[in-house]
Structure 1
Protein backbone atom coordinates (compact mmCIF):
# COMPACT_ATOMS: atom_id res chain seq x y z
CA UNK A 1 0.00 0.00 0.00
CA UNK A 2 1.32 3.40 -0.91
CA UNK A 3 1.65 6.28 1.53
CA UNK A 4 -1.06 8.07 -0.45
CA UNK A 5 -3.55 5.22 0.08
CA UNK A 6 -2.69 5.08 3.78
CA UNK A 7 -3.29 8.83 4.09
CA UNK A 8 -6.69 8.54 2.37
CA UNK A 9 -7.78 5.74 4.71
CA UNK A 10 -6.43 7.50 7.81
CA UNK A 11 -8.18 10.73 6.83
CA UNK A 12 -11.47 8.91 6.20
CA UNK A 13 -11.39 7.22 9.61
CA UNK A 14 -10.36 10.45 11.33
CA UNK A 15 -13.24 12.36 9.72
CA UNK A 16 -15.74 9.73 10.84
CA UNK A 17 -14.50 9.74 14.42
CA UNK A 18 -14.30 13.53 14.56
CA UNK A 19 -18.07 13.79 14.08
CA UNK A 20 -19.10 11.10 16.59
CA UNK A 21 -18.10 7.72 17.98
CA UNK A 22 -18.31 4.81 15.53
CA UNK A 23 -18.09 1.06 16.06
CA UNK A 24 -15.39 -0.93 14.26
CA UNK A 25 -18.02 -2.66 12.11
CA UNK A 26 -19.60 0.65 11.17
CA UNK A 27 -16.25 2.13 10.10
CA UNK A 28 -15.41 -1.02 8.12
CA UNK A 29 -18.79 -0.95 6.37
CA UNK A 30 -18.42 2.71 5.44
CA UNK A 31 -14.90 2.21 4.11
CA UNK A 32 -16.03 -0.78 2.04
CA UNK A 33 -18.85 1.34 0.61
CA UNK A 34 -16.17 3.78 -0.53
CA UNK A 35 -14.53 0.92 -2.40
CA UNK A 36 -11.58 0.43 -0.05
CA UNK A 37 -10.49 -3.18 0.39
CA UNK A 38 -10.64 -4.58 3.93
CA UNK A 39 -7.02 -5.79 3.64
CA UNK A 40 -6.00 -2.15 3.18
CA UNK A 41 -7.90 -0.57 6.07
CA UNK A 42 -7.85 -3.33 8.72
CA UNK A 43 -4.26 -2.67 9.93
CA UNK A 44 -4.90 1.07 10.04
CA UNK A 45 -8.15 0.57 11.94
CA UNK A 46 -6.29 -1.68 14.38
CA UNK A 47 -3.84 1.16 14.98
CA UNK A 48 -6.74 3.48 15.82
CA UNK A 49 -8.11 0.88 18.27
CA UNK A 50 -4.71 0.29 19.88
CA UNK A 51 -4.16 4.03 20.32
CA UNK A 52 -7.58 4.38 21.99
CA UNK A 53 -8.87 6.70 19.29
CA UNK A 54 -11.60 4.23 18.33
CA UNK A 55 -13.39 2.32 21.08
CA UNK A 56 -16.43 0.07 20.80
CA UNK A 57 -16.97 0.55 24.54
CA UNK A 58 -17.11 4.33 24.20
CA UNK A 59 -19.37 3.99 21.15
CA UNK A 60 -21.72 1.64 23.02
CA UNK A 61 -21.98 3.95 26.04
CA UNK A 62 -22.60 6.99 23.85
CA UNK A 63 -25.22 5.21 21.73
CA UNK A 64 -26.93 3.63 24.75
CA UNK A 65 -27.15 7.00 26.54
CA UNK A 66 -28.59 8.68 23.44
CA UNK A 67 -31.24 5.97 22.98
CA UNK A 68 -32.09 6.02 26.70
CA UNK A 69 -32.66 9.77 26.49
CA UNK A 70 -35.01 9.13 23.54
CA UNK A 71 -37.11 6.79 25.70
CA UNK A 72 -35.89 3.45 24.42
CA UNK A 73 -35.79 0.43 26.70
CA UNK A 74 -32.91 -1.96 27.40
CA UNK A 75 -34.05 -4.58 24.89
CA UNK A 76 -34.20 -2.04 22.05
CA UNK A 77 -30.82 -0.60 23.00
CA UNK A 78 -29.17 -4.04 23.04
CA UNK A 79 -30.61 -4.86 19.62
CA UNK A 80 -29.46 -1.52 18.24
CA UNK A 81 -25.93 -2.06 19.53
CA UNK A 82 -25.86 -5.56 18.04
CA UNK A 83 -26.70 -4.07 14.64
CA UNK A 84 -23.56 -1.96 14.96
CA UNK A 85 -21.49 -5.06 15.73
CA UNK A 86 -21.08 -4.46 19.46
CA UNK A 87 -20.73 -7.74 21.36
CA UNK A 88 -23.20 -8.62 24.11
CA UNK A 89 -20.73 -8.12 26.95
CA UNK A 90 -19.89 -4.59 25.82
CA UNK A 91 -23.59 -3.83 25.37
CA UNK A 92 -24.35 -5.02 28.92
CA UNK A 93 -21.47 -2.95 30.25
CA UNK A 94 -22.80 0.13 28.43
CA UNK A 95 -26.28 -0.37 29.89
CA UNK A 96 -24.80 -0.63 33.38
CA UNK A 97 -22.59 2.39 32.80
CA UNK A 98 -25.46 4.76 31.98
CA UNK A 99 -27.09 3.91 35.35
CA UNK A 100 -30.61 4.04 33.98
CA UNK A 101 -33.78 3.69 36.02
CA UNK A 102 -35.71 1.55 33.55
CA UNK A 103 -38.89 1.52 35.64
CA UNK A 104 -39.12 5.32 35.76
CA UNK A 105 -38.09 5.56 32.13
CA UNK A 106 -40.93 3.22 31.10
CA UNK A 107 -43.34 5.21 33.26
CA UNK A 108 -42.19 8.51 31.73
CA UNK A 109 -42.58 7.14 28.19
CA UNK A 110 -46.07 5.89 29.06
CA UNK A 111 -47.05 9.24 30.61
CA UNK A 112 -45.74 11.19 27.63
CA UNK A 113 -47.76 9.11 25.17
CA UNK A 114 -50.92 8.26 27.14
CA UNK A 115 -51.10 10.61 30.11
CA UNK A 116 -50.72 10.30 33.86
CA UNK A 117 -53.95 8.46 34.67
CA UNK A 118 -54.46 4.72 35.23
CA UNK A 119 -56.30 3.11 32.33
CA UNK A 120 -59.13 0.91 33.65
CA UNK A 121 -60.24 -0.45 30.27
CA UNK A 122 -58.38 -3.67 29.48
CA UNK A 123 -58.01 -3.08 25.72
CA UNK A 124 -56.55 0.39 26.18
CA UNK A 125 -54.16 -0.85 28.90
CA UNK A 126 -53.01 -3.58 26.48
CA UNK A 127 -52.36 -0.89 23.89
CA UNK A 128 -50.13 0.91 26.39
CA UNK A 129 -48.28 -2.33 27.15
CA UNK A 130 -47.76 -3.06 23.45
CA UNK A 131 -46.38 0.44 22.93
CA UNK A 132 -43.88 0.02 25.77
CA UNK A 133 -42.91 -3.41 24.47
CA UNK A 134 -42.32 -1.89 21.05
CA UNK A 135 -40.07 0.73 22.70
CA UNK A 136 -37.92 -2.10 24.06
CA UNK A 137 -38.86 -2.39 27.72
CA UNK A 138 -39.00 -5.69 29.59
CA UNK A 139 -42.24 -7.00 31.06
CA UNK A 140 -41.52 -6.00 34.66
CA UNK A 141 -40.81 -2.41 33.54
CA UNK A 142 -44.04 -2.39 31.53
CA UNK A 143 -46.12 -3.80 34.39
CA UNK A 144 -44.78 -1.09 36.68
CA UNK A 145 -45.43 1.71 34.18
CA UNK A 146 -49.07 0.81 33.57
CA UNK A 147 -49.85 -0.22 37.17
CA UNK A 148 -52.33 1.69 39.27
CA UNK A 149 -49.68 2.46 41.90
CA UNK A 150 -47.45 4.34 39.42
CA UNK A 151 -50.30 6.49 38.10
CA UNK A 152 -52.10 9.49 39.54
CA UNK A 153 -55.87 9.18 39.60
Structure 2
Protein backbone atom coordinates (compact mmCIF):
# COMPACT_ATOMS: atom_id res chain seq x y z
CA UNK A 1 0.00 0.00 0.00
CA UNK A 2 1.29 3.43 -0.89
CA UNK A 3 1.61 6.30 1.55
CA UNK A 4 -1.15 8.07 -0.37
CA UNK A 5 -3.59 5.17 0.18
CA UNK A 6 -2.64 5.02 3.86
CA UNK A 7 -3.30 8.76 4.21
CA UNK A 8 -6.72 8.45 2.55
CA UNK A 9 -7.73 5.60 4.87
CA UNK A 10 -6.36 7.37 7.97
CA UNK A 11 -8.19 10.57 7.02
CA UNK A 12 -11.46 8.69 6.47
CA UNK A 13 -11.25 6.99 9.87
CA UNK A 14 -10.23 10.24 11.57
CA UNK A 15 -13.16 12.15 10.02
CA UNK A 16 -15.61 9.49 11.22
CA UNK A 17 -14.27 9.51 14.77
CA UNK A 18 -14.05 13.30 14.90
CA UNK A 19 -17.84 13.63 14.49
CA UNK A 20 -18.83 10.97 17.04
CA UNK A 21 -17.78 7.63 18.47
CA UNK A 22 -18.09 4.71 16.05
CA UNK A 23 -17.97 0.97 16.71
CA UNK A 24 -15.26 -1.10 15.07
CA UNK A 25 -17.81 -2.93 12.90
CA UNK A 26 -19.47 0.32 11.89
CA UNK A 27 -16.16 1.72 10.62
CA UNK A 28 -15.44 -1.54 8.76
CA UNK A 29 -18.88 -1.37 7.11
CA UNK A 30 -18.51 2.29 6.11
CA UNK A 31 -15.02 1.85 4.65
CA UNK A 32 -16.14 -1.24 2.75
CA UNK A 33 -19.07 0.74 1.31
CA UNK A 34 -16.58 3.35 0.12
CA UNK A 35 -14.88 0.62 -1.90
CA UNK A 36 -11.73 0.39 0.19
CA UNK A 37 -10.33 -3.12 0.41
CA UNK A 38 -10.60 -4.75 3.79
CA UNK A 39 -6.98 -5.85 3.79
CA UNK A 40 -5.86 -2.26 3.32
CA UNK A 41 -7.73 -0.64 6.20
CA UNK A 42 -7.83 -3.34 8.90
CA UNK A 43 -4.20 -2.81 10.00
CA UNK A 44 -4.75 0.95 10.18
CA UNK A 45 -7.99 0.52 12.10
CA UNK A 46 -6.19 -1.81 14.52
CA UNK A 47 -3.63 0.97 15.11
CA UNK A 48 -6.49 3.34 15.98
CA UNK A 49 -7.89 0.72 18.36
CA UNK A 50 -4.51 0.07 20.04
CA UNK A 51 -3.96 3.82 20.51
CA UNK A 52 -7.44 3.96 22.12
CA UNK A 53 -8.64 6.43 19.50
CA UNK A 54 -11.40 3.99 18.53
CA UNK A 55 -13.08 2.22 21.43
CA UNK A 56 -16.14 0.00 21.40
CA UNK A 57 -16.53 0.64 25.15
CA UNK A 58 -16.74 4.40 24.67
CA UNK A 59 -19.10 3.94 21.74
CA UNK A 60 -21.35 1.66 23.82
CA UNK A 61 -21.46 4.11 26.73
CA UNK A 62 -22.23 7.02 24.41
CA UNK A 63 -24.90 5.10 22.54
CA UNK A 64 -26.51 3.77 25.73
CA UNK A 65 -26.69 7.28 27.20
CA UNK A 66 -28.21 8.71 24.01
CA UNK A 67 -30.86 5.99 23.77
CA UNK A 68 -31.67 6.22 27.47
CA UNK A 69 -32.24 9.96 27.09
CA UNK A 70 -34.66 9.18 24.22
CA UNK A 71 -36.70 6.97 26.56
CA UNK A 72 -35.51 3.57 25.40
CA UNK A 73 -35.41 0.58 27.73
CA UNK A 74 -32.57 -1.86 28.41
CA UNK A 75 -33.74 -4.46 25.88
CA UNK A 76 -33.93 -1.89 23.08
CA UNK A 77 -30.51 -0.51 23.96
CA UNK A 78 -28.92 -3.97 23.92
CA UNK A 79 -30.56 -4.82 20.58
CA UNK A 80 -29.37 -1.53 19.11
CA UNK A 81 -25.81 -2.24 20.19
CA UNK A 82 -25.97 -5.71 18.64
CA UNK A 83 -26.65 -4.05 15.29
CA UNK A 84 -23.40 -2.13 15.69
CA UNK A 85 -21.47 -5.32 16.50
CA UNK A 86 -20.95 -4.57 20.18
CA UNK A 87 -20.31 -7.64 22.34
CA UNK A 88 -22.96 -8.38 24.95
CA UNK A 89 -20.46 -8.02 27.81
CA UNK A 90 -19.52 -4.51 26.62
CA UNK A 91 -23.21 -3.59 26.26
CA UNK A 92 -23.86 -4.83 29.81
CA UNK A 93 -20.93 -2.76 31.12
CA UNK A 94 -22.28 0.33 29.36
CA UNK A 95 -25.71 -0.18 30.90
CA UNK A 96 -24.17 -0.67 34.36
CA UNK A 97 -22.07 2.48 33.94
CA UNK A 98 -25.24 4.36 33.05
CA UNK A 99 -26.84 3.03 36.27
CA UNK A 100 -30.40 4.16 35.54
CA UNK A 101 -33.48 3.30 37.52
CA UNK A 102 -35.33 1.40 34.77
CA UNK A 103 -38.55 1.34 36.78
CA UNK A 104 -38.68 5.11 37.08
CA UNK A 105 -37.56 5.50 33.49
CA UNK A 106 -40.45 3.32 32.31
CA UNK A 107 -42.85 5.31 34.46
CA UNK A 108 -41.51 8.59 33.09
CA UNK A 109 -41.85 7.40 29.48
CA UNK A 110 -45.39 6.19 30.18
CA UNK A 111 -46.37 9.48 31.84
CA UNK A 112 -44.91 11.53 29.02
CA UNK A 113 -47.02 9.67 26.47
CA UNK A 114 -50.17 8.87 28.45
CA UNK A 115 -50.14 11.10 31.54
CA UNK A 116 -49.91 10.07 35.18
CA UNK A 117 -53.47 8.70 35.30
CA UNK A 118 -53.62 4.99 36.22
CA UNK A 119 -55.64 3.38 33.43
CA UNK A 120 -58.50 1.02 34.41
CA UNK A 121 -59.81 0.19 30.93
CA UNK A 122 -58.24 -3.10 29.80
CA UNK A 123 -57.79 -2.12 26.14
CA UNK A 124 -56.12 1.19 26.99
CA UNK A 125 -53.94 -0.50 29.60
CA UNK A 126 -52.79 -3.00 26.96
CA UNK A 127 -52.00 -0.11 24.65
CA UNK A 128 -49.73 1.42 27.32
CA UNK A 129 -48.05 -1.91 27.96
CA UNK A 130 -47.49 -2.48 24.25
CA UNK A 131 -45.97 0.98 23.91
CA UNK A 132 -43.51 0.34 26.76
CA UNK A 133 -42.68 -3.08 25.35
CA UNK A 134 -41.97 -1.45 21.98
CA UNK A 135 -39.68 1.03 23.78
CA UNK A 136 -37.61 -1.90 25.07
CA UNK A 137 -38.59 -2.23 28.69
CA UNK A 138 -38.88 -5.58 30.45
CA UNK A 139 -42.17 -6.85 31.85
CA UNK A 140 -41.39 -5.95 35.48
CA UNK A 141 -40.62 -2.35 34.46
CA UNK A 142 -43.83 -2.16 32.46
CA UNK A 143 -45.97 -3.50 35.29
CA UNK A 144 -44.44 -0.99 37.70
CA UNK A 145 -45.05 1.89 35.29
CA UNK A 146 -48.69 1.14 34.49
CA UNK A 147 -49.81 0.09 37.97
CA UNK A 148 -48.24 2.98 39.83
CA UNK A 149 -46.80 0.79 42.60
Normalising by the smaller structure, the TM-score range is over 0.9
Query: Partners in 2 of 1:103 and 1:42 — Cα distance?
Result: 42
Q: Deviations over 1:68-122 (max 9, x none)?
A: 0000000000000000000100000000011111001000000000001100111
Unaligned 5+ segments in structure 2 are none
TM-score after normalising by structure 2: 0.99
1:48 maps to 48
Cα RMSD (Å) of the superposition?
Answer: 0.5
2:105 maps to 105
2:77 maps to 77
TM-score after normalising by structure 1: 0.96
1:117 maps to 117
1:38 matched to 2:38? The reply is yes
1:26 matched to 2:6? The reply is no
Q: Secondary structure at the match of 2:116?
A: coil
Q: Secondary structure at the match of 1:72?
A: coil
Unaligned 5+ segments in structure 1 are none
